[in-house]
Amino acid sequence: MSQPTIQIALIKGDGIGVDVTEASFAVLEAALKKTAGPRLSYNEIRAGAGYFSETGDDIEPRGEEAAGRADAIFLGAIGLPAVRHADGTEISPHLRLRDRFQLYAGVRPVRAYPNTPRRLSDPRAANIDLVILRESTEGLFYSASVHGRSEVIDNREVRDVLRITRHTSEKLHRFGFELARKRKQNGSRGILTCVDKANVFTSMAFFRQIYDETAADFPDIQTDYNYVDAQALDLIRRPWDFDVLVTENMFGDILSDLAGGLVGGMGMAACAEIGDETGLFQPAHGSAPDIMGQDRANPLAAILSGALMLEYLAQKTGEAALLDSAKLIDDVIYQGFAENRIRPAEFGGDMGTLAITRELLSSI
């Protein structure tokens, strides 16, 4: 019996987004072929700052609807600092996709690979392996400019709202406890840390209250709390002690860049944004205008995001080969670093986007 084809909405976007997307799909296809997995078919959707410069729109007509019809959405990177709306903000249609498809669960794994730069001298930094679960539809991003929800009083005052709802927080915390449980089955410690600012903000005390209510259903998972400022300190002081951190949108945005820096740089920072109906997968980095067009981008964040997409699709479709492909990709990246066959220019090595991609293809 022939296997179903899986539909991917593909938004390459701007700058290095284009190169790392192409690298990611070359590797995904090789892995799927190796594991006799289903075929991927693509619907490419034009969007981003380059598209906006040409057309005045940030995404092609009916692009959002088309993205919603796919089994999953993959995005390279969007935005160029020189291209802006009249209010000074950048082109960010991807924030609207998060909102439209309610992609509340932003999963950002942070893992130290062998032979990658240790930003911390403590040898325990070799054991960093945590996940930041960033709520991705509300919090302070609820009034991100692209949604038009800021309150402009006059030219002396502007207000942005931090919104926490029970509906989203219940789903988020449940997702966090389930993720901690899944990781525990694979040898992690089974701890979910609630990162908030419940000492100061009523909305954050509410976020923590819903965390506590949800925890009652997960007695096998250890609860833990940290205020976000202390969490920033602890990510430098003892990042190896954490397993899964669940947090508000803006806090997660900032902490995940910090955490990406701990294990090398943004070129390792993968990201999955998951909702009830679909998921969007993208490297956590931007379009990196400082290195675009130079074959210097590290494609691994995009490739690891692709592996997260295969894991998600395995769960969605029940196709075990998708999970095998995701695992194969993780393994060849880990082994490639361990055997010093992957040496990204981002970390002072001699390999750009194409060389890293070729190495992974030959390992697969």
Ligand X SMILES: NC(=O)c1ccc[n+]([C@@H]2O[C@H](COP(=O)([O-])OP(=O)(O)OC[C@H]3O[C@@H](n4cnc5c(N)ncnc54)[C@H](O)[C@@H]3O)[C@@H](O)[C@H]2O)c1
DSSP 240: G
Which residue, 96, 27, 37, 68, is CA-closest to 279? 68
CB atoms within 10 A of CB 11: 28
Beta bridge partners of 132: 108, 245
Whether 248 contacts 194, CB under 8 Å: no
- Say whether 229 is catalytic: yes
Q: CA 98 to CA 277: how far, in whole Å? A: 12
Q: Which of 23, 255, 297, 314 binds ligand X (CB under 6 A)?
A: 297
Binding mask 73-92 for ligand X (x = CB under 6 A): ----xxxxx--------x--
- State the nearest-atom distance from the C-beta of 199 to ligand X, in Å: 29
Name the active-site residue from 197, 312, 324, 330. Answer: 197
Site for ligand X contains 301 (CB under 6 A)? yes
- State the nearest-atom distance from the C-beta of 50 to ligand X, in Å: 11
Site for ligand X contains 266 (CB under 6 A)? yes
Name the active-site residue from 122, 217, 229, 276. Answer: 229
Site for ligand X contains 10 (CB under 6 A)? no
- State the nearest-atom distance from the C-beta of 108 to ligand X, in Å: 12
Q: Which of 169, 298, 305, 363 binds ligand X (CB under 6 A)?
A: 298
- Say whether 211 is catalytic: no
Binding mask 108-147 for ligand X (x = CB under 6 A): ----------------------------------------
Please work out the total of residues on this chain that contact ligand X, with binding judged by CB under 6 A. Answer: 24
Maximum alpha-carbon separation in the chain = 66
Q: Which of 24, 278, 346, 360 binds ligand X (CB under 6 A)?
A: 346
Site for ligand X contains 288 (CB under 6 A)? yes
Directed axis angle between helix 300-317 and helix 16-34, to 10°? 50
Q: CA 172 to CA 275: how far, in whole Å? A: 10
Stretch that binds ligand X, among 103-111, 123-131, 180-188, 295-303 (CB under 6 A): 295-303
Whether 44 contacts 58, CB under 8 Å: no
Stretch that binds ligand X, among 34-42, 224-232, 262-270, 327-335 (CB under 6 A): 262-270
- Say whether 142 is catalytic: yes
Q: What would the two tokens of residue 157 be? A: 């005052």
Directed axis angle between helix 228-237 and helix 249-262, to 10°? 10
- Say whether 113 is catalytic: no
Q: Which of 193, 226, 287, 325 binds ligand X (CB under 6 A)?
A: 287
CB atoms within 10 A of CB 60: 16
Name the active-site residue from 57, 160, 224, 257. Answer: 257
Distance of CA 127 to the CA centre of its chain: 21
- State the nearest-atom distance from the C-beta of 284 to ligand X, in Å: 7
Give alpha helix (H) positions in the chain. Answer: 16-34, 49-55, 63-69, 93-100, 166-185, 202-215, 228-237, 249-262, 300-317, 320-338, 353-363
Positions touching ligand X (CB under 6 A) are 16, 20, 77-81, 90, 94, 265-267, 282, 285-291, 297-298, 301, 346
The residues annotated as belonging to the active site are 142, 197, 229, 253, 257
